[in-house]
Amino acid sequence: MTDFAALRRMMVDGQVRTADVTDPDLLTAMLGVARERFVPPEKASLAYLDLDVVVSEPGRPVRRLLKPMVLAKLLQAAEVGVSDRVLDVGCATGYSTALISRLCASVVGLEDDAGLVRQASETLGALGIDNAHIVTGPLTRGWPNEGPYDLIVLQGSSELVPEMLRGQLKNEGRLVCVLGSGPSGKAMLYRRIDDELSGRPVFDASAPQLPGFVKPPEFVF
């Protein structure tokens, strides 16, 4: 029988701590959330590997959970606070939402795939997480119903600066994502200052692209 608790410790010690993730609350959260619960049963053995695990159903657009190291470094850069209201965009099966829920006051997981929404909601409920819930809608529109937020996290890469979500941040609110595609991507920390979204790179990263977060096609003469 697989010892998932041991695999979790190995993930944290071998992938997360070694990537300069030192936030004790974040490390405790990663040790406490059973990542294997958020992947298809037949892929449970892949849950703690250093890869973006595919969680979408066959025949649906491919969706993945971010690598543990990338997600951990994004959340550390975001400096999630205990009083924060968070929007988790592209939460897939809800692993990231469950993790964030241990660090903040409340978190909304946004997903546009109905099958993933169902899985995420059921798993969060089974784990007794009561400060998080999952909503359905286009990812690029965010979820203004419960904003503004102290923090928005994009669970994937964007080809463009996510200005469309700026209005759902509080003033001084933060947004973290991976900007760009492929190995040249950069994890970015943005902050809303009045009506501007100001950002800076925090580390090199690659991540699966989120649906809708693509550059419009350029007109060629």
By percentage, how much of the chain surpasses pLDDT 90?
91
pLDDT at 61: 86
Q: What structural domains does the chain harbor?
A: 4-204 (3.40.50.150)
Identify which of 150, 110, 105 has the alpha carbon closest to the alpha carbon of residue 130.
105
Q: How far apart are CA 181 and CA 158, in angstroms?
A: 7
Q: How far apart are CA 89 and CA 82, in angstroms?
A: 19
pLDDT at 112: 96
pLDDT at 60: 87
The secondary structure element, H or E, covering residue 189 is: strand 186-193
Alpha helices in the chain (DSSP H): 4-11, 24-32, 68-78, 95-101, 114-126
Q: What confidence tens digit (pLDDT) does each residue in 30-89 have?
A: 999 999 999 999 999 999 999 999 999 888 889 999 999 999 999 999 999 999 999 999
Identify which of 125, 133, 17, 141 has the alpha carbon closest to the alpha carbon of residue 69.
17
Helix (H), strand (E), coil (C) string for 156-179: EEECCCCHHHHHHEEEEEEEEEEE
Q: How far apart are CA 150 and CA 100, in angstroms?
A: 13
pTM exceeds 0.75, yes or no: yes
Q: How far apart are CA 217 and CA 92, in angstroms?
A: 26
pLDDT at 220: 56
Question: Which tokens hold the place of 11?
Answer: 């993930």
Q: Would the pLDDT of 179 be above 60?
A: yes
Q: Which residues contact 112 (CB under 8 A, 6 or more apart)?
A: 136, 137, 138, 139, 211
Question: Which tokens hold the place of 69?
Answer: 């190291």
Mean pLDDT taken over the chain: 95
Q: Would the pLDDT of 216 be above 90?
A: no
Q: How far apart are CA 22 and CA 102, in angstroms?
A: 16
Q: Would the pLDDT of 109 be above 80?
A: yes
Are 67 and 19 within 8 A, CB to CB? Answer: no
